[in-house]
Amino acid sequence: MRSLPARHHARLLAAVTVGVCIPDQLTKAWVRAHLDVGERRPLVAGAVELLHTENRGMAWGLLDGHPLRLPVVTVVSLLTLVVVLGWFVRLRPDERALAWSFGLVLAGAAGNFIDRLLYRRVTDFVELLGGGIFGVFNVADVAISCGLLGFAALAVRGRAIPPGLEAP
């Protein structure tokens, strides 16, 4: 039987979660306290602006305004957390890069889930000017994106098969 991550990856997950969730929640609280929804402030002239938006749906506002939005988003969020955590607890001690990738995804998902639980919406506030493909995002979104990029990089190298899905 594999040893559980309590022995080899639990501290990493705790550190990544704290390292993502605290700045994520602090920056969102600052934005909610200092910017009205829709208000913009330049952060880096011509490159980055703060823009206070509220995402009541999923990524890129999917399901925003739909009557079943909250239950669907909640179920999808919880399922994502359970599946990724299920993969995480099966990681071997030598799969540290995969632990980082899963840890970043879990921490980011937790940061946005906290918003949904407390406010029924996610606060987004960073907009890259001229980079419209990214939309408006937050610290948790960056963690999720970095985790997914890490996972993709490992997959390209053949080193990112989620535990339990490998060939017999």
Catalytic site positions: 124, 141
* Cβ count within 10 A of residue 69: 17
> By CB neighbour count within 10 A (0-12 exposed, 13-18 middle, 19+ buried), where does 98 fall?
buried
C-alpha closest to that of 113 among 88, 147, 145, 76: 76
> By CB neighbour count within 10 A (0-12 exposed, 13-18 middle, 19+ buried), where does 68 fall?
exposed
Cβ distance 129 to 48 under 8 Å?
Answer: yes
The angle that helices 96-119 and 10-34 make with each other, rounded to 10 degrees, is 40
What is the torsional sign of CA 142, 146, 149, 155? Answer: negative
